[in-house]
Amino acid sequence: MLVLQGIVDGILAGALYALMGSGLTLVFGVMEVINFAQGIIVVLGAYFTYTFASHLGVDPFVTLLLTIPIMFTLGYAVYMLLLRPIKRDRVIMSLLVMYATAVVIEGVLDLIFGGTLVEVTASYGTSSVHLGSLDFPNVYLLAFGLSAVLLAALYWILYHTKFGRSLRATTQNLTAAKLVGINVDHVSALTLGIGVGLGAAGGMLFGMTTPFNAASSYDLISRLLVIVILGGFGSVWGAGVAAIVMLVIEDVVAVVWSPVWGQTIFYLVLALVLMFRPQGLFGRRLARAQ
């Protein structure tokens, strides 16, 4: 039964990590930019939720009406102001730019909030649904639900809208996309906006499940990068599957054996997968043609 609880915990927490990682993989898929700031963006989203929820007295989910547009705008602005001007060595330079962005955001958050750990609270956040001997914490169930809805919405945008077609075209061949008249800069800026906006939603859920401060971003980004590597850079669904695989392995090993071995076993699985599929579970084998 403990194993079953570990699987439940892993799937629920995995959905949350899938949401947080989806922005990272989407941005890489379109722009080949490793958004090193995704960890601090999630934490920024958590702080926005914490601030709005505590000052306006509204439910954390309601704050998404404010935080997603704010974070979307931030992402759009970061692309237009910081990434678009990069003309040479784009991959390396954009990595440095996003790292610098992360450091600046962390510094500002530290200045405003200090190092004290905070948490987003809600009345329903401390209870669970019990099924037999299994516990389904409300917060994680809601996180699972929101992740599923947002990832489904992302799928719909990617595959059923004109913007989605432009985005996928840009992902497949940047030069060809430009040749057929797609405004690649606009698509890229919107993509970073969406990625950062998803970070706002992930941040709200992260803040509801974990006490956090600005430094929490370091552990987050390392886990998100691992998820995206396992899933395959650029694959949103890969990130989803990888997040759930990672969390289920870690949680099952943690409950039946030891949390120390949970991460070790996961990294062994990751190494094995990469030996046979260096591009990750759902990644593309060849580099994008330029």
Residues near another protein (CB under 8 A) = 1-2, 5-6, 9-10, 13, 106, 110, 114-119, 121, 125-128, 130, 135, 137-140, 209-216, 218-220, 222-223, 247, 250-252, 254-255, 258-260, 262-263
For residue 137, give the H/E element and its range.
strand 134-137
- 249's CB contacts (< 8 A; 6+ apart) are 10, 262, 265, 266, 269
Q: Residue 135: phi, psi to the nearest 5?
A: -105, 135
Q: Which residues pair with 118 in a beta bridge?
A: 212
Q: Alpha-carbon distance 242 to 262, whole Å?
A: 15
SS3 content of the chain, % helix, strand, coil (to 5): 75, 5, 20
Q: Alpha-carbon distance 247 to 12, whole Å?
A: 9
Q: 175 or 222, CB closer to another protein?
A: 222
Q: Alpha-carbon distance 272 to 266, whole Å?
A: 10
Burial of residue 77 (CB within 10 Å: 0-12, 13-18, 19+) is: middle
Q: Residue 145: phi, psi to the nearest 5?
A: -60, -50
- 161's CB contacts (< 8 A; 6+ apart) are none
